[in-house]
Amino acid sequence: MLRSFRERASSHELMDDQTQGGEELREALRHLRRLNRLFAAAAPTLFGVNRLWVQAGKPRHLSLLDIGAGSGDVNAALLRWADAQGIELTVTLADRTEEACAEASAYFAGEPRISVLCRDVLDLDKKSADIVTGSQFIHHFGSEELPGVVSAMLRASRIGIVIQDIHRHWLPWAAVWLATRLVSNNRYIRNDGPLSVAKGFRAEDWKRLDAALGLPGLTYDWRPLFRYVVTIPVGAVGKRG
């Protein structure tokens, strides 16, 4: 049943409940990789990373920290991009759940450029990576929590941050509702997939976040398929006012 998308949904996703998990959650992360491929989830993150890389002068060495990474599959596209550009790229996949860390380690087994860290976004070390990314991550937080989460990502980065998340709209909601039922019987996927769209964003949400942060460098772009990409360079911090 279609719902109103005027405001962000406030319900918690099943993946946010740390009292649950186990093999069912690991299966959900594997099925989520199918959905990420279907909806081209890697492309918007790559768009944002490339923008910050160009703004930083196209450094030959680059480190990324992907927070709330799940199994981190979107980073496979970033590795291919780095190879094409001749960039020495290292990626740290960070997630607070043991299941996600285990799934990421298994998915990237044998890839020396990838490391896995079990860590919450609010516990990140300062200046721990050049670029910090969050792919379909910050919709898990309420609007009042977002400035603190984004500030934590900025503190952990040296160049800037990339946020990629879902456009809150009935069309992607319907598409995700149908796709989750075609590709999976997993209750995490069937519940959290459509809910994640209802918890997604519109342009006015990014404008409110921009005002709350008080940073002049925030930009947001709509990208296919119904995604937003937000980039904030670290050099913007503290320059407004």
- Span 219-237, average pLDDT: 90
**Separation CA 235–CA 220 (nearest Å):** 17
Q: How far is residue 143 from each of residues 101, 138, 139, 204, 224, measured CA to CA in Å?
A: 26, 9, 9, 12, 24
Residue type, 173: W
CA-wise closest residue to 205 among 139, 160, 125? 139
Distance of alpha carbon 55 from alpha carbon 219, whole angstroms: 13
% of the chain surpassing 90 pLDDT: 92
pLDDT in tens, 196-205: 999 999 999 9
Confidence bin at 235 (pLDDT 50/70/90): confident
Nearest residue to 122 via CA among 96, 85, 84: 96
Task: Judge whether residue 88 has pLDDT over 70.
Answer: yes
Both tokens assigned to 6 = 């005027």
Structure tokens at 182: 């075609």
Confidence of residue 20 (pLDDT cuts 50, 70, 90): confident
Per-residue model confidence as pLDDT tens digits over 145-179: 999 999 999 999 999 999 999 999 999 999 999 99
Q: For residue 241, what are its two tokens? A: 């006012």
Identify the pLDDT of residue 236: 52
Q: Give the mean pLDDT of 91-117.
A: 97
Name the band, by pLDDT with cuts 50, 70 and 90, for residue 222: very high
pLDDT band for 3, please (50, 70, 90 cuts): low
Distance CA 63, CA 157 (A): 10
Average pLDDT over residues 183-211: 97
Tell me how many helices (H) and strands (E) the chain has. Answer: 8, 7
As a whole number, the mean pLDDT across the chain is 94
| Sign of CA pseudo-dihedral 121, 218, 139, 193 | negative
Strand ranges of the sheet holding 129-135, from the earlier edge strand across to the other edge: 114-118, 88-95, 61-67, 129-135, 157-166, 227-233, 219-223
Q: How big is the chain by its Cα radius of gyration, in Å?
A: 17
Which residues, at least 6 apart from 204, have a Cβ–Cβ distance to it below 8 Å? none
Q: How far apart are CA 194 and CA 25, in angstroms?
A: 17
Cα separation of 178 and 128, whole Å?
Answer: 39
